[in-house]
């Protein structure tokens, strides 16, 4: 059984999803790859993990590093799990490139994934914000796609007071 809960943020409504124990999803409204179950396939319920996630979100949207991670669980491929673990290591207010993440995975596995494969895994991150896919940027500083919308990506980086000099929003392309 999936459980859902809503959170009202300054950047729009957020849906939280849980398996009853851990947070398994977090998406802004109209998120490109949201995995929200159909009516009747979930229960709206307050759970301890939702309370902890809301505490995290309150601190985050107050402009502070929450300093903890709620219990999370994701059902993704082994490769995507490695990408998610690397995203979790990106500090609040900092960014990493798709190539940086590919390099770190290469150091662990001896195989270098292409930045595009990393991009696919980043783009399908089921636990947005907490697994900070918004902190991943193109090697040239391009603020490429974010499932919650490029405007939100920019707003999140500004909220974290990230040094955005040298970064830009592409004018065209599939990453928008």
The residues carrying an active-site annotation are: 133
Q: Give the residue from 90, 82, 79, 99 showing the smallest Cα distance to 144.
A: 99
How far, in Å, CA of 48 to CA of 59, rounded?
17
Q: How far apart, in Å, do the first and last CA atoms of the chain sit?
A: 34
Q: Report the candidate in 39, 48, 19, 16 with the shortest Cα–Cα distance to residue 127.
A: 16
- The Cα 91–Cα 159 span in angstroms is 14
Q: How many residues does the chain have?
A: 176
Give me the sign of the Cα torsion angle 63, 67, 72, 74: positive
Task: Tell me the H-state helices in the chain.
Answer: 48-61, 78-88, 98-109, 115-123, 150-159
- Relative to beta strand 42-44, strand 2-9 is parallel
């Amino acid at each position: 059984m999936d459980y859902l809960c809503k959170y009202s943020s300054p950047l729009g409504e957020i849906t939280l999803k849980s398996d009853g124990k851990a947070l398994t999803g977090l998406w802004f409204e109209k998120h490109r790859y949201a995995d929200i179950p159909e009516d009747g396939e979930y229960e709206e319920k307050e759970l301890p993990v939702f309370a902890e996630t809301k505490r995290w979100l309150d601190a985050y949207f107050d402009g502070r590093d929450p300093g903890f991670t709620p219990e999370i669980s994701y059902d993704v491929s082994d490769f995507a799990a490695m990408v998610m673990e690397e995203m979790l290591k990106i500090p609040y207010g900092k960014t990493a490139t798709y190539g940086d993440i590919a390099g770190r995975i290469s150091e662990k596995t001896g195989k270098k994934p292409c930045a595009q494969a990393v991009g696919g895994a980043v783009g399908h991150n089921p636990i947005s914000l907490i697994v900070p896919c918004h902190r991943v940027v193109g090697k040239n500083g391009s603020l490429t796609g974010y499932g919650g919308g490029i405007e939100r990506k920019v707003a999140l980086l500004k909220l974290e007071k990230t040094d955005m000099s040298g970064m830009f929003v592409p004018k065209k392309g599939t990453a928008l």
